[in-house]
């Protein structure tokens, strides 16, 4: 619900995907493929964000559409993962880590 409200207010689209495992695949191409397959973001805006968590592999990635790369930089996504998600996940609070990441 929080994500739908955010999208309605901003037109930017955030999608959270959790998978048990990447089955040996690297997370970056997996996330990129999922992002493109789901056509995230508004047409012509490319303003989508995919937050992907592979729980059993202990990997996570934030894939950002070109339209948001100036706002949500690689450094910003790295800090969100390191400061919000990793500590919460280590404490066993997966939903809290995802919620913090979305809020940032």
For the entire predicted model, the pTM comes to 0.89
**Per-residue model confidence as pLDDT tens digits over 59-70:** 999 999 999 999
Question: For 22-54, how does the pLDDT look when each residue is reduced to its tens digit (9 = 90+)?
Answer: 999 999 999 999 999 999 998 889 999 999 999
CATH number among 3.50.50.60, 3.10.310.50, 3.40.50.261, 3.10.150.10, domain 2-103: 3.10.310.50
Backbone angles phi, psi at 60, to 5 degrees: -150, 155
Tokens of 32: 């990129």
Q: Where are the domains of the chain?
A: 2-103
């Amino acid at each position: 619900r929080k994500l739908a409200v955010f999208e309605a207010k901003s037109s930017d689209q955030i999608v959270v995907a959790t998978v048990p495992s990447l089955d040996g695949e690297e997370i970056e191409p997996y996330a990129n493929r999922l992002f493109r397959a789901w056509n995230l973001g508004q047409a012509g805006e490319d303003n989508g964000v995919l937050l992907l968590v592979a729980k059993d592999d202990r990997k996570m990635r934030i894939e950002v559409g070109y339209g948001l790369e100036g706002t949500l930089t690689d450094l910003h996504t790295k800090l969100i993962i390191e400061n919000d998600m990793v500590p919460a996940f280590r404490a066993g609070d997966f939903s809290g880590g995802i919620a913090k990441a979305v809020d940032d």
